[in-house]
Chain A
């Protein structure tokens, strides 16, 4: 526990000094929220809709931070520590690799939760947002999306041969997901052809799940996304554990 606490504290400091996660995981989702809030305000999501545009987008906005941390932050930090031989130094100490990885996962979880809180507070106070569905369902979906996104990141960090490859793979995963899965650009305003492409991205399903939960839609709408998220997490975690390398 002592090891975990000290490492967590230090790694948080190092991460904050880097600033990039503060920008991508904390500021960026907030900026997108404010833009959407100003443009669409409390207009209904579509003619005759029972919920507002912002209510529809809330589930998407909270995934921006998860995506930044899981798909960009995690794989980069893991492969960076491997290529800088920091993991190799840890290999000749009594620490378990599980602790090293858990510390990073916890850091990106903190970023994501902080972003969720900030988005929620801003949306309720400035844009009269209300969560229609149950918080319980929403948080279940939220952590499921987080689990699957983080597992993708762990896998990329685990199998990428060097930091350059990790950064290329992370970019290939991150930017399309950020733009086309509905996290920033709302899925609903995309033309149907683009929606079809978006459906390939795992985050699109995560966002559907969160939308369903935040709007209080019946569970059968979200069964498929739940299954996809779980299967993805199991596969990626399995691969990253199987192929973990110190060096």
Chain B
């Protein structure tokens, strides 16, 4: 299968502090890839270095066979991005934001359909700042889907959504996956990761501590549930430290 995202030995530090180190990963077409880790583990830095909004110190990235630093305009015709923090003009309406976003692309999806699909079509004329957290989150997923992308990057996909809305979003993404969309996401919800992701990568302090499928993650841990396994991967070192300090 074709490799859509290819990352090789990516490293980045801020003021001498290492944010991510030696990140290598590969995402094939039609796959859902989950980047996991605690807050501050380097997820956002990794995404930003992959997208080229931050310049990595070392390593190479290719998306759809192109370099995001040098072929920005070409890549982002086919790549949709939802950033962690929503960013929009203060006095812009939902319809306007969608219309402007649509106008940026050569071939874009009909945003009316997407708004209906995600259940916020009645908000078309509302100001974005008046939406509830969940509605806004859905809107920003829609914005990422407007380019009719081959790949989407979703940073903290369902943070702020209620249980029902999260399920709805999963359903939409699963449908899109069936149609061949490649999805790169970060999430703090392990049920979501289990439901959606084919492959995961767990980051800790900027380094990869696990890379593989969910089954593999469970199998190489002493636990049977994925959430426990995840916590085991991310907490291991703290426990060791605690043991050391307890012994001392």
Interface residues of chain A, those whose CB is within 8 Å of chain B, are: 2-3, 5-7, 10, 13-14, 17-18, 81, 84-86, 88-96, 246-247
> B103 touching A17 by the CB < 8 A rule?
no
Stretch at the interface among B33-41, B88-96, B230-238: B88-96
Which chain B residue shows the least CB distance to A4?
A: B103
Q: Is the CB of B99 within 8 A of A93?
A: no
Can you list 8 residue pairs at the A/B interface with Cβ under 8 Å? A5-B103, A7-B103, A18-B91, A84-B89, A93-B104, A94-B77, A96-B73, A247-B53
Contact B87 A14 (CB under 8 A): no
List A contacts of B92 (CB < 8 A).
10, 14
Tell me which of B76, B89, B100, B103 contacts A81 (CB under 8 A). Answer: B89
Which of the segments B16-24, B78-86, B175-183, B210-218 contacts the partner chain? Answer: B78-86
Distance of A187 Cα from B236 Cα, bound (Å): 74
Known: A14-B92, A93-B76, A94-B76. A88 touches B104 (CB 8 A): no
CA distance A86 to B128 in the complex (A): 13
Residues of A within 8 A of B53 (CB): 88, 91-92, 246-247
Q: Whole-angstrom distance from the CB of B134 to the nearest CB of chain A? A: 20
For B129-154 the 0/1 string (1 means CB < 8 A from A) is 00000000000000000010000000
| Docked pose: A186 CA to B96 CA in angstroms | 43
B89 touching A94 by the CB < 8 A rule? no
The residue of chain B having its C-beta at the shortest distance from the C-beta of A87 within the complex is B87
Report the separation of the CA atoms of residues A29 and B184 in the bound assembly, to the nearest whole angstrom.
Answer: 53
Set of chain B residues within 8 Å of A96, measured between Cβ atoms:
73
Please name all residues of chain B whose beta carbon is closer than 8 Å to the beta carbon of A3 when the two chains form the complex.
103-104
Q: B118 at the A/B interface (Cβ < 8 Å)?
A: no
Q: Count the B residues whose beta carbon is within 8 Å of the partner chain — how many?
A: 27
**Which interface residue of A2, A7, A88, A92 has the most chain B CB atoms within 10 A?**
A92
Contact for A92 among B81, B103, B106, CB less than 8 A: B81
In the complex, which residue of chain A has the Cβ closest to the Cβ of B51?
Answer: A92
A94: chain B residues at CB < 8 Å are 72-74, 76-77, 104-106
B56 contacts A by Cβ under 8 Å: no
**Residues of chain B lying within 8 A (CB to CB) of residue A89:** 81, 83, 87-88
Q: How many A-B residue pairs have CB under 8 A?
A: 66
Report yes or no: B87 in contact with A86, Cβ–Cβ below 8 A. Answer: yes
Q: Does B60 contact A (CB under 8 A)?
A: no
In the complex, residue of chain B having the shortest beta-carbon distance to the beta carbon of A95: B104
Chain A to chain B: the 8 pairs with minimum beta-carbon distance, closest first: A6-B103, A85-B87, A92-B81, A17-B91, A94-B73, A93-B104, A3-B103, A10-B96
* B85 surroundings in chain A (CB, below 8 A): 85
- State the B residues within 8 Å of A (CB): 51, 53, 72-74, 76-77, 79, 81, 83, 85, 87-92, 96, 99-106, 147
> How distant is the Cα of A89 from the Cα of B102 in the complex, in angstroms?
13
**How many Å from the CB of B9 to the closest CB on chain A?**
23
**Cα of A95 to Cα of B194 in the assembled complex, Å:** 35
Q: How far is the CA of A157 from the CA of B108 in the complex (A)?
A: 31
A residues near B79, Cβ cutoff 8 Å: 92
Q: Are B100 and A7 in contact (CB under 8 A)?
A: yes
Q: A3-B103, A94-B77 are in contact. Are A88 and B83 (CB under 8 A)?
A: yes
Q: Hey, which chain B residues are within 8 Å of A84, CB to CB?
A: 87-90
The distance in angstroms between the C-alpha atoms of A42 and B100, with both chains bound, is 49
Please name the residue on chain A nearest to B79 by beta carbon: A92
Contacts of A86 in B (CB 8 A): 87-89
Known: A17-B91, A84-B88, A85-B85. A93 touches B101 (CB 8 A): yes
Nearest Cβ on chain B to A106's Cβ, whole angstroms = 15
B91 proximity list for chain A (CB < 8 A): 14, 17-18
Contact A10 B100 (CB under 8 A): yes
B87 and A88 contact, CB distance less than 8 A: yes
Residues of A within 8 A of B51 (CB): 92
CB pair B83–A93 under 8 Å, yes or no, is no
Task: Name the A residues within 8 Å of B83 (CB-CB).
Answer: 85, 88-89, 92
CB distance from A155 to the nearest CB of B (A): 22
**Complex interface: chain B residues within 8 A of A7 (CB):** 100, 103
Distance A37 CA – B147 CA, assembled complex (angstroms): 55
Are A10 and B101 within 8 A (Cβ)?
A: no
Nearest to B96 among chain A residues (CB) is A10
Whole-angstrom CA separation of A84 from B103 in the bound complex: 21
Residue of A10, A13, A84 most packed against chain B (CB within 10 A):
A10
